[in-house]
Structure 1
Amino acid sequence: MRIRIMLAVLMTAVAAPALSQTPGAAPAPAPAAVEDLVTVELDTIAGRIVIALDKGHAPLTTANFLKYVTGGKYDGESIYRAMKYGDTGGLVQGGITSDARKLLPAVAHESTATTGLKHVRGAISMASQGPGTAQADFFILTTDIPGLDANGADQGFAVFGKVVEGMDVVDRILASPVSATKGEGSMKGEMLEPAVKILKAARVDQ
C-alpha cells in the first residue's frame, strides 16, 4: 500500500497542467562546491549509475539517502518502475520493496523552492506521499519535468543530486520491458518485468 500511494502521488504531480516555471520561484543555485558533493554508485544488473549528491543545497535529503547507502539497505533491492513522459523521456523509480523493516524514519521535506534544484534530466529526487513523508524510494529523470518542482502551495518533490555517469543505463532501464498487468490505476503498465536489481549501493568519494 505504501508504494502504491507514493506512485499515485507522483503520477498526479506529473499529470498536473501547471508545467511552467513558477512565478517567484527560487533562482537556479550556484554550482555546488566540490566539498559539498558526495558521490554514490549504484551497481545494477543493467549497469553502473554514478550520482553526485548535493549536500550543500539539500543536506537533509542527502544525509537520509546516505544512511540507506552506507547501511547496505539498497543492496539487493531494485529499480522497479519506468514511467514514460512525453515522446521519449520519463523517469525510473527504485527503493525498498522487500522488507519494510529496512525503512528509516521519514525525512523533512526540502522543497525545490528552497534548494533551487530542479527536476531536470539526470536529477535524482525522493518519492513521497507528501511533504515530510519520504523514506527510501527515489526516482531519476531522463527528461525535464518541471511539474514535479514546488509550485505555490504544491511543495513538489525533493531533488538532492544528479547523475554524473550512467545516464545511458538509466535510459536503457526506462526502455526496458514492463508488465501489462502489474500496477494499479494509472500505474498499470509501468512496473518493470523483471525489475532491475541493485547489486550494491556505495559511497565512492571517501
Structure 2
Amino acid sequence: MKEKFQTFEGRAEEQSVTVILCTSLGDIELVVYPQKAPLSAGDFLDYVDRGLYQGAAFYRVIRPDNDAGSPVIEAIQGGLLTESPPTEFIAHESTKQTGIKHLDGTLSLARREVGTATAAAFFIIIGDQPSMDFGGSRNADMQGFAAFGRVVKGMEVVRAIQQIRDTSNEGPFVKGQKLSNPVAIESVKRKTNS
C-alpha cells in the first residue's frame, strides 16, 4: 500500500492547546503542542475539531504483568475502535525532532511501521518510558513514537483505566491487554477560556 501523508502547517502558530477527554471514569485534561509537533498534534486536533472521536474508547492496557514487548512499558491506548482510520497516515515526528520525551503522562501516536500513524490510535504513558523515544529499543527501527502532548490533570483516571483486569485473550502480542469492555470516551473538546 502506498503511503500518503498530510501536513498541518496552518496550525503551528499555537504554542499549546488544552483538550478535555471526558471518559466514563472521569476527565483527563491534556496539553497538546502543535508548534513542537505540528503533524502529530495537528492530526489529533483535526480529529478533535471534526468530531472524529465519536464512539472512541480506551481499549488497551499495558502493564508489566501483560506486556510481551521489550523493554516492558506501561500505558493505555485509546482512539477509534476500527482498523480503518478515516484519515490518511502522517509522516513520523520523532522525539529527536520535537524534543517531547516519553515521560509520565505523555500523549503519543500508536504505530506499526514508521509513517503508519494517525490520531485514530493514541496512547498515554505511565511512568518514564525512554525506550519509546528516538534511539530507544522498543521498536526494532529505533525511531520511537511520535509524542505530541501530555496529561496535566486526571492521571488518576489514566491509572484507574490501566488497572482494569477484565481483558480478552486476543493475541499473542496483546494477550491480556485488550479490554473486554472498553472505557468510553464520551466527548473530546478543546478547553475554552471563559
TM-score bin (small chain): 0.7 to 0.9
Query: Is 2:65 the partner of 1:82?
Result: no
Give, in angstroms, the shift of residue 193 of structure 1.
2.5
Give, in angstroms, the shift of residue 130 of structure 1.
2.0
Give the counterpart letter for 1:202 in structure 2: K
Cα–Cα, structure 1 residues 82 and 50, in superposed 2: closer, same or farther, change >3 Å?
same
Give the counterpart letter for 2:172 in structure 1: G
Partner in structure 2 of residue 66 of structure 1: 45
Partner in structure 1 of residue 26 of structure 2: 47
Partner in structure 2 of residue 145 of structure 1: 129
Following the alignment from structure 2 to structure 1, what is the Cα–Cα distance between the partners of residues 80 and 46? 13
Query: Is 2:184 the partner of 1:205?
Result: no
The one of 107, 128, 134 equivalent to 2:117 is: 134
The one of 181, 185, 193 equivalent to 1:194 is: 181
Where 1:161 maps in the other structure, the secondary structure is strand
Following the alignment from structure 1 to structure 2, what is the Cα–Cα distance between the partners of residues 41 and 190? 25
The one of 126, 148, 156 equivalent to 1:168 is: 156
Cα–Cα, structure 1 residues 180 and 77, in superposed 2: closer, same or farther, change >3 Å?
closer
TM-score normalised by structure 1 residue count: 0.76
Give, in angstroms, the shift of residue 99 of structure 1.
7.4
- 1:66-95 CA-partner distances (Å, limit 9, x unpaired): 111111111221100000038xx7100011
Which runs of 5 or more structure 1 residues have no equivalent in the other structure? 1-34
Which runs of 5 or more structure 2 residues have no equivalent in the other structure? 1-13, 66-72
TM-score normalised by structure 2 residue count: 0.81
Query: Is 2:77 the partner of 1:93?
Result: yes
Root-mean-square deviation over aligned CA pairs = 2.0
Partner in structure 2 of residue 17 of structure 1: none
Checking the alignment, whether the CA contact within 8 Å between 2:48 and 2:190 is kept in structure 1 is yes
Following the alignment from structure 1 to structure 2, what is the Cα–Cα distance between the partners of residues 151 and 113? 9
Identity of aligned residues (%): 39
Following the alignment from structure 1 to structure 2, what is the Cα–Cα distance between the partners of residues 120 and 91? 11
Partner in structure 1 of residue 92 of structure 2: 109
Higher helix share: 1
Select between 148-157 and 54-63 the one with higher mean Cα deviation: 148-157
Give the counterpart letter for 1:95 in structure 2: G
Partner in structure 2 of residue 121 of structure 1: 104
Following the alignment from structure 1 to structure 2, what is the Cα–Cα distance between the partners of residues 199 and 180? 23
Checking the alignment, whether the CA contact within 8 Å between 2:61 and 2:177 is kept in structure 1 is yes
- 1:78-131 CA-partner distances (Å, limit 9, x unpaired): 100000038xx710001111473x520111111101111111100000001122
